[in-house]
Amino acid sequence: MTTIPQQQAHWLIFQNDALVVWRDSEGLPNDQDIVAIKPYLIRQFSLGLWNNVDYYCAEIDQGCSISEGLQTLPLRQALAILQDETYSLGVKAHSVLTWDKNHRFCGRCGGHTAHQHKGFERTCPECELSFFPRISPSIIVLIKKGDHLLMARSPHFLPGVYGLIAGFVEPGERLEETVHREVLEEVGIQIKNLVYACSQPWPFPDSLMIAFTADYAGGEIVIDDDEIEAAGWYKYDDLPGRPSVATSVAAKLIDAFVASFEHHEADVI
């Protein structure tokens, strides 16, 4: 377990999967802000130095009262308000704390695992199996057909919200193969001109989202009822409800698609 130095560090503290932030600014508390609850922190880890500021993460028990002026925000809501530099730290903090909580015992022999002196590693002293924070590679793809965009609705989404085709990479797959497979499985169409766009860590549950764009190549939409409850082509200026977290990679891909046509219209005018 990391030894926490006595300094004005910033803290990412979770209580029942919600992040502790200031009520007025929604900023992260520092060492002085958490004096009252510091004795009750558990699972403390160093996240490293960022812009000459030390960051740490920890959990507090659900029954512990937080300091006046602080509040807890559900993780999705918290990620939406974090700046780019602290967004990654927020995802890292949540992943590390979840890993530590879920790997107290060895999955091979059942023995108690122990922290190693450096990095994020728990090792079983009985069989010497090591456990690290889990990262699950996933793809997400924006599919274009002229000025129309393919959007699909999962039954797990909030009412009225549509998103993009996404899915986990299976063992032995290349990323490109995953994209083609997920698109074919979920909506039954073929795509072409696959282009890498960007990536983003996403803690639901522990994904690294690898984003692509692609063009429609053929086929009619046939949805997989187990994964998708609706899908269709939508014009850039008449899209259904978008992902609620504006900082998500899905929202960024959709915004870029819409902006490309809005800028074109502005140039024509």
Supply the pLDDT for residue 268.
Answer: 45
Task: Sheet containing 130-131: give its strands across.
Answer: 114-115, 122-123, 130-131
Domains observed in the chain = 10-102 (no CATH), 105-134 (no CATH), 136-268 (3.90.79.10)
Place of tokens 């879920």: 102
Supply the pLDDT for residue 134.
Answer: 92
d(CA 157, CA 173): 27
Q: How many helices (H) and strands (E) does the chain have?
A: 4, 14
Supply the pLDDT for residue 3.
Answer: 57
Supply the pLDDT for residue 197.
Answer: 98
The pTM for the full model equals 0.87
Distance of CA 122 to the CA centre of its chain: 23
- C-alpha closest to that of 106 among 122, 132, 124: 124
Supply the pLDDT for residue 230.
Answer: 97
Q: For the chain of 269 residues, list the mean pLDDT of each consecutive stretch of 10.
A: 65 94 88 90 92 93 87 88 82 95 97 91 97 96 98 92 97 98 98 98 92 99 95 97 82 95 62
Amino acid at 157: F
Cβ atoms of residues 85 and 51 within 8 Å = yes
Radius of gyration, CA atoms only, the chain:
22
Supply the pLDDT for residue 169.
Answer: 98
d(CA 230, CA 225): 9
